[in-house]
């Protein structure tokens, strides 16, 4: 399919994991993709993979905790490809995996700043462009941990992702009348580095997850990407303010 031919898509956190899979999937369906993140070398790898598959992409380094860099990211996206039709706010971090009373202020602030404020700042600048140019689509990557499920020793991350879900729904109501459709996708454990426990191999993760969710496996990164593409596509034109959970049944 070529559902996104002629469209420009911005993906944050696109240097690895789910962000890279999402960028590759959009490019495979005809989009011009701006891949953004903090590490230039990783972004260049993503661009190389897209170009090797005869897709179109450009890398822009940006830290989602910096408002000026996010404003520049949107401007660069438009300068490179002429417009910004779709934005996927995927950048996020996991820190402070200890009980609540042991989470440091530094870890708490870093997680909330990246995972919540970063999404808000990105949307702020994406929406400004879309309002002035006939609308667009935004997909925020949240998590099944948050609004849908809780586990011990992840309070900062859980709090941040619950906030992303709430922020997404609030923004959807604020801006749908301007032709901007905003939704979230909430993966559970997936075939991405963030789902690995410290020192754990992919084989070890597979064995662990067998007993942790009804499906008995992690979601493939391509499965999460397929859900993002559906939410961003014209087929989901009436999907507004939803949070699509993809977690192999963990929060069912």
What would the 3-class secondary structure string for 145-204 be?
ECCCECCCCCHHHHHHHHHHHHHHHHHHHHHHHHCEEEEEEEECCECCHHHCCCCCCHHH
Using DSSP bridges, classify how beta strands 136-141 and 86-89 pair: parallel, antiparallel or unpaired.
parallel
- Locate the domains of the chain by residue range: 8-246
- Nearest by Cα to 140 from 38, 13, 236: 13
Q: What is the residue-level pLDDT of the chain in tens, covering all 252 positions? A: 899 999 999 999 999 999 999 999 999 999 999 999 999 999 999 999 999 999 999 999 999 999 999 999 999 999 999 999 999 999 999 998 999 999 999 999 999 999 999 999 999 999 999 999 999 999 999 999 999 999 999 999 999 999 999 999 999 999 999 999 999 999 998 888 888 888 889 889 888 888 889 999 989 999 999 999 999 999 999 999 999 999 999 999
Largest Cα–Cα separation, the chain? 50
- Residues classed as catalytic: 157
**How far is Cα 172 from Cα 90, in angstroms, rounded to an integer?**
17
Which class is 8-246 in CATH? Answer: alpha beta
């Amino acid at each position: 399919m070529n559902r996104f031919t002629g469209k420009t898509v911005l993906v944050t956190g696109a240097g690895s994991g789910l962000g890279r899979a999402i960028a590759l999937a959009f490019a495979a369906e005809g989009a011009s993709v701006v891949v953004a993140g903090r590490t230039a070398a990783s972004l260049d790898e993503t661009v190389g993979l897209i170009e090797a598959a005869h897709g179109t992409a450009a890398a822009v380094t940006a830290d989602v905790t910096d408002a000026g860099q996010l404003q520049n990211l949107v401007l660069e996206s438009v300068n490179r490809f002429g417009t910004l039709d779709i934005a996927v706010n995927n950048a996020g971090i996991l820190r402070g995996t200890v009980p609540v009373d042991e989470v440091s202020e530094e870890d708490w602030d870093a997680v909330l700043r990246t995972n919540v404020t970063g999404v808000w700042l990105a949307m702020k600048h994406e929406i400004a462009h879309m309002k002035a140019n006939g609308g667009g689509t935004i997909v925020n990557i949240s998590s099944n941990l948050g609004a849908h499920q809780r586990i011990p020793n992840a309070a900062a991350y859980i709090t941040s992702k619950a906030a992303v879900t709430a922020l997404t729904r609030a923004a959807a109501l604020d801006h749908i009348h301007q032709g901007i459709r905003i939704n979230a996708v909430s993966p559970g454990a997936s075939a991405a580095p963030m789902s690995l426990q410290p020192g754990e191999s992919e084989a070890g993760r597979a064995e662990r997850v067998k007993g942790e969710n009804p499906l008995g496996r992690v979601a493939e990164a391509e499965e999460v990407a397929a859900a993002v593409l559906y939410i961003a596509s014209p087929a989901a034109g009436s999907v507004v303010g939803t949070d699509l959970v993809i977690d192999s049944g963990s929060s069912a």
